[in-house]
Amino acid sequence: MAFTLASWNVLAQAYVRPDRYPGCEPAALDPELRAGKVARHIGALDADVVCLQEAEAPIVKAQGIGTFEFASKSGGKPDGCAIGIRGSVRADRFETVKYSDGSGHIALVAFLTTRIGKVAVATTHLKWDPPDTPAAKRFALRETDDLLAFLRRSAAGIPWIICGDFNVTSDDEVIARFIKAGLKDAYATIPQAATCIANGRARRIDFILYTADLMATPRPLPPLADDSILPSTAMPSDHLPIAAAFERLR
């Protein structure tokens, strides 16, 4: 028995500006067209648990999956994180982790009963740090530590899955801290799999991490190259959805 989880940064419409996406067709950036496509893509994601970042409340409500929990970022930001469940998965409770760094970024954590037992699922959008930011001043590192501290305190004794847009690549200290905490990377066996086009570069900055009491089988991704154009009329975000199937080892 297994259950599946998908994670996707849907690209909040509030952040869509033509100057950020100069190669995109106008139709790919049109607010009304994008809203419908994002909602339809969310509804079509083939997973028991759907985790979203840069989600906006109206689109979450329009997606049609059913049970969705939404948590807004603070500080006047227009977006947040969401977790949807369907099938045999049951949500026991949801909690929002408000990071202590003043960034307004959050994690949304679902405590679930699944076909493989109790699982804590956290979805987050870590704040981007400019290159060469000293470790002591990095938002992403402080947010990583906050999330790990919460899960150690609130989800001890059950498996964890942490997913989302981490705004770092796999060789970053953020990932090293998660690995040191005992988490594994679902896409570690396909490290060349890019998930996002950012500033003209195809990179993997979206992750699904999990504790050692689980086994993950990642879902393959379509290829992305530096000259790929996202958002497009087919894919309404500059990120691809990622997904994995999970089984319990012990």
Q: What is the pLDDT along the chain (250 residues), one digit of tens a residue?
A: 789 999 999 999 999 988 888 889 999 999 989 988 998 999 899 999 999 999 998 777 766 666 889 999 999 999 999 999 988 899 999 999 999 999 999 999 999 999 999 999 999 999 999 999 999 999 999 999 999 999 999 999 999 999 999 999 999 999 999 999 999 999 999 877 999 998 889 999 999 999 999 999 999 999 999 999 999 999 999 999 999 999 999 7
Cα–Cα distance between 172 and 177 in angstroms, integer?
9
CATH architecture observed for domain 3-248: 4-Layer Sandwich (3.60)
pTM, entire model? 0.96
φ, ψ of residue 137 in degrees (nearest 5): -105, 5
Cα–Cα distance between 96 and 109 in angstroms, integer?
6
SS3 42: helix
Beta carbons of 83 and 108 less than 8 angstroms apart: yes
